[in-house]
Amino acid sequence: MSKKMSIAALVLYVVYAVGMYFYIFHGPSGGVPATLKGTVADPETFMTERELYLSDDYSKIRNFLFFVITPFEWLVYLLILLTGISRIFEKWAETKWKLFKNGAYLFLLYLFTALIFYPIDIYRYQLSKEYGISTQDFSSWMRDYVIDFWVNFGTTLLLVLVLYWLIQKSAKKWWLYAWLLTIPFAIFMMYLQPVVIDPLYNEFTPLKDKQLEEKILKLANQADIPSEHVFEVNMSEKTNALNAYVTGIGDNSRIVLWDTTLNELTDEEILFIMAHEMGHYVEKHIYVGIASYLLSILVGLWLISKIMPWMVARFGKFLNIEKVGDIRSLPLFFVLVSFLLFISNPLSNYISRYQETRADEYAMELTGDAEAAVSTFQNLAKAGLSEVNPPWLVKIFRYTHPPMLERINTIARYTDNEEVETEKGNETE
């Protein structure tokens, strides 16, 4: 039966992958609406013919990889269970101390899956190099890859050890206790991120352009945002993409600009980006994000607490799982977490796109510079070879930000409304 289930899972995955291939590469593309042809939102007005070709090609490949890699992850974990590999890992990790056993099992599982996914990670790195997005040499990429492995393993180890201890202590309420512990852990990690984790990958220094820093801090003061320093990070050694962000909470919060952004954009464009990030602060999106994250974790853990025992009772014999508290059930837990995150993407992305739109509108209110806003979005699209108007399925599952077509239209609508208000004011006078 386990063999039949493995074959069925493989066939189902292949059928799904073929379907996604035809949807991505031969299905309807977003394109540019006829009413926007020739406008500032039309990529043909700001991209070269080669950039248009590369953007289309690169976007399709990345979209296809997104839709097939996550289900491939589920397939790998299911095959680890169905073929008995999980049980073998448990035997290899056997010790009289439960915590050491669970930790050793996780390491074997983590290393095994890392080796399976390594060729895919290499391909994605080479793809980014081929299309001119990545500038990172292989040794630097490999260094980041190893750091990623150990940072993620260390974090996962802590979570798994606590989780399975809770499951063994309280089979019915473990999900609630786990969620309660998630709250301080998540806040602690957000506090730690900018000062401990981020510097492992890149060097952060105070912004060297003091005149620009003064302009940014003046803008922050207009928005009533307490901020004393702006940081820049050396990303040009790794990428040609542009970015800026606000990270951390409390005393560890900081404004960060990639040096690629500093090198490629004008001061006006950078100020628009900074005003956008300040919009997130003013609109309190970080707190909404924390609340949404904690709520989703609560719902997810509760669902897993219901689904996992049912699956073990129904299919445990074929999955080589005797009870939920066995560490060999961990691949099933990972599958459920990944699946729930995947199907929740449309909702979480919708909320994120709404917040990004609000931040764009706030940036326009703060700067009033529509020309800089439009050119910023155009430059971001060119640097990242972004798809300005992706297909619907791609948009709802992948896009945390509105597509560039929508963002430029937001600016156009804003300026149109401003003109209407000005005309009304003139008529009243």
Say if CB 238 and CB 183 are below 8 A apart.
no
Phi, psi of 387 (to 5 degrees): -80, 115
Q: Is 230 helix (H, G, I), strand (E, B) or coil?
A: strand
DSSP count for the chain of H helices, then E strands: 14, 4
Q: How far apart are CA 335 and CA 271, in angstroms?
A: 43
Distance of CA 152 to the CA centre of its chain: 15
Q: How far apart are CA 254 and CA 275, in angstroms?
A: 14
| Cβ burial, residue 41 (10 Å; 0-12/13-18/19+) | buried
Lookup: tokens for 80: 């680890």
- Describe the strand order of the beta sheet including 204-206 as a list of residue ranges: 204-206, 230-233, 254-258, 244-247
Nearest Cα neighbor of 81 from 112, 49, 46 is 112
Lookup: tokens for 374: 């439009």
Q: How far apart are CA 13 and CA 6, in angstroms?
A: 11
Say if CB 12 and CB 24 are below 8 A apart.
no
Q: How far apart are CA 373 and CA 360, in angstroms?
A: 9
**∠ CA 290-293-295 to the nearest 5 degrees?**
110
Look-up of token digits 């990172």 = 136
Whether 356 has a binding-site annotation, put simply, is yes
Q: How far apart are CA 238 and CA 328, in angstroms?
A: 38
Q: Report the catalytic residues.
A: 277, 360
Q: What is the DSSP string of 149-210?
A: HHHHHHHHHHHHHHHHHHHHH-TTTHHHHHHHHHHHHHHHHHHHIIIIIGGGTS-EEE-S-H
Maximum Cα–Cα distance across the chain: 86
